Structure 1
Amino acid sequence: MPGEHLTEVRIGIYATPDDAARITEECGAVLRESGVAHELSLTGPERTPAGRDMAISEVYDELPEQWRLQHPAADPGSRHIHEISIGLVTAHPETTPIRDALTRVICPDPEHSSPCPIPWSSSSEEAGKQRYGHLLRR
């Protein structure tokens, strides 16, 4: 469709495997509700996502430190860095509200005064057709 473009949203989280799976599923629900063509994937600890040069542990290396500062004496248990990658086909004005809805899965109240229980970071950029071009054919 004219006016549509590919965007990739990346959300790094420092979470347990169960929390990572839950957050990924909730992001999927947001995407299904939006009705946009999308692809959603979860990359686990110490992995290097396709087409990238750095392992996610290097990209989001500040997240475990954020958790340790909030829980100085606690054992992180099974927490590791995970990345949720989302390829979207949207008209440009639709991208920001969808990205905001996805990050609200992790942080429902962006104005809260304390750190989020699950440290996270997000970014978005124009996505290449090599990875997500198949979404344009739907």
Structure 2
Amino acid sequence: MDLFELRLGMYATGPDARALADRARRLLDEHAASEASPVTAWALSLVGGGRPAGPEGEGEPTVAGLYEELPEQWRVEHPGQEPGERTVTELRVGVLGDTGQLRELLDALTALACPDPVHPGPCPVPWSAGFSEPLDEESRARLESRYGHLRG
């Protein structure tokens, strides 16, 4: 078992971001309870746009900087409309599990943001997703510092 971090950036209102996080918690609980799931343990957090994107802090881009295309995407897809209370937020999920099925779990999380990827028109909540895995000692140390507590 290894540690991974799934990241879902979104340009959403606070209530929309919290609702997506609640759906993600339910999904992760289901995965952790299943014998066939790659997930053994998980930790979820919502990170605001002004926070550093990485654990180092100083000199790191902010979460908003990491997903700077999302507000612009919303403006292009909603010409003349005001974004209201939307802000860039990142859903971070630390996972202890099997690397072989990590992509499936990320796909399941992104489906919470956009259940039908071929829908007409723009997504109501622009989003972008990715993941971090322990490819080298530096990335392994970063994941351990954030999510080592998942090892129990």
Do both proteins adopt the same fold according to a TM-score greater than 0.5, normalized to the shorter chain?
A: yes
Q: Which runs of 4+ in 1 moved over 4 A?
A: none
Q: Which amino acid aligns with 2:46?
A: L
Structure 2 gaps of 5+ residues are: 33-38, 135-142
TM-score, normalised to structure 2, is 0.83
SS in 2 for 1:112: coil
Equivalent residue, structure 2, for 1:14: 11
TM-score, normalised to structure 1, is 0.91
Structure 1 gaps of 5+ residues are: none
Q: Which amino acid aligns with 1:100?
A: D
Structure 1 residues 14-93: aligned runs within 5 Å:
14-35=11-32, 36=39, 37-49=41-53, 51-52=55-56, 53-93=60-100
Equivalent residue, structure 1, for 2:112: 105
Q: Is the 8 A contact 2:94 2:147 kept in 1?
A: yes
Residue 132 (structure 1) aligned with residue 136 (structure 2): no
Task: Measure, in 2, the Cα distance between the counterparts of 1:92 and 1:70.
Answer: 35
Q: CA deviation at 1:112?
A: 2.4
Q: CA deviation at 1:136?
A: 1.4
Task: Measure, in 2, the Cα distance between the counterparts of 1:135 and 1:51.
Answer: 17
How much identity, in percent, do the aligned residues show?
40
Note the alpha carbon deviations across 1:62-105, whole angstroms, 9 max, x for none: 00000000111111110000000000011122212111110000
CA RMSD of aligned residues (A): 1.3
Task: Measure, in 2, the Cα distance between the counterparts of 1:57 and 1:125.
Answer: 18
Task: Measure, in 2, the Cα distance between the counterparts of 1:70 and 1:11.
Answer: 20
Q: CA deviation at 1:114?
A: 2.5
Pairs aligned (count): 134
